[in-house]
Homo-oligomer: A and B are copies of this chain.
Amino acid sequence: MLSNKQVVLRDYAEGAPKDSDMEVITNKSIGVNVPQGSNAVLVKNLYLSCDLYMGHLMHKTQGGLDVFTPYTPGSVIMGYGVAKVMDSGHPNFKKGDLVWGTTGWEEYSLITKPEDLFKIDHTDVPLSYYTGILGMPGMTAHYGFYEKCAPKEGEYVFVSAAAGAVGQLVGQFAKLMGCYVVGSAGSQEKIDLLKDKFGFDEAFNYKEEQDLDAALKRCFPEGIDIYFDNVGGKMLDAVLLNMRNHGRIAVCGMVSQYGLEQPEGVKNLMHLVFKRVRVEGFTVTDYYPSYSKFLESILPCIREGRIFYAEDVAEGLESGPSALAGLFRGRNIGKQVVVVAHD
């Protein structure tokens, strides 16, 4: 048996999740082999991904959404991660394989549906990237932008939460395509990053703007062709006033609404009609069968330095609660990762 430190949900969160909604426990252990006859896989967790959807799972009810099965108090937090196979009862996996997919916030996990894991074949790039640019957020940015936004060279593109795991990639994809790109984020440090490192044409701190409509009109005097929406709420309402004819809005998430008792109302939907705008929600899991095609596109961008990728790395499983809670307060700069072990 191996001692197995875990991050568990202490109790359901109220509003934005806090560090104290979770706790680190050290009294658990796990077998060193998969149970005989099982096709499960035992992994050592290396990198854990902090993602906004996890906030939904920390709430008992989700403001009328009720599409998620929340975590259970006392149980280990589940999320995306990179891991190394220690023992395998599944023919597709063997000891030493590197994988990414859903795992537990703990040192070791027994994964009972290993067929949902992705094998990692390319290790010339940092392994932690498989929690982000080479994993779920990377595919979200890629398919959300190229498929749902149907971008064309020269178009005006706006990205909210632009310094986050997904937003930073969407902005850079748009720049590579020859679009004019503006991002919003919540601190001067992030704004600097957007302009200096990610190559955004313009960026603004939404917390410093009295009037989001005015901020958008300043950045987009010609209007917006594409909005990649990570935040929903008031920003979406302001964007609707500034869309151009036949514009497209891809709705990836609505972080401004998570944890609210009731979502805010969006008032300017009539502009969808006036401007013939398309709004489309999407879920990255629909694109998982196309993972290898995605890798063919993104790996050369990383190797050739055409994409800059920012991570915010927290060391040690103990830092997990604070790293995850920080995500809902915009404390992270770039993709928030928790390192459990480096190999």
Whether A326 is near chain B, meaning CB under 8 Å from some CB there, is no
Task: Find chain B residues with CB under 8 A from A241 CB.
Answer: 64
* Pairwise interchain contact B272-A281, C-beta atoms closer than 8 A: yes
Instruction: Please name the residue on chain B nearest to A267 by beta carbon.
Output: B263
* Pairwise interchain contact A276-B282, C-beta atoms closer than 8 A: yes
* Pairwise interchain contact B281-A276, C-beta atoms closer than 8 A: yes
Whether A1 is near chain B, meaning CB under 8 Å from some CB there, is no
Q: Which residues of A (207-233) have their CB < 8 Å from a CB of B? A: 232
When all copies of this chain in the complex are counted, the total is 2
Task: Find chain B residues with CB under 8 A from A199 CB.
Answer: none
Stretch in A169-177, A178-186, A190-198, A251-259 with 4+ CB within 8 Å of B: A251-259
Nearest CB in chain B: distance from A68 CB, A: 9
Whether A278 is near chain B, meaning CB under 8 Å from some CB there, is yes
Task: Find chain B residues with CB under 8 A from A232 CB.
Answer: 269-270
Instruction: Please name the residue on chain B nearest to A275 by beta carbon.
Output: B281
Nearest CB in chain B: distance from A238 CB, A: 11
Instruction: Name 17 A/B residue pairs within 8 A (Cβ), A-sorted.
Output: A64-B241, A64-B268, A232-B269, A251-B272, A251-B273, A252-B273, A263-B268, A265-B267, A266-B269, A272-B279, A273-B281, A274-B283, A275-B281, A276-B280, A276-B283, A277-B280, A279-B280
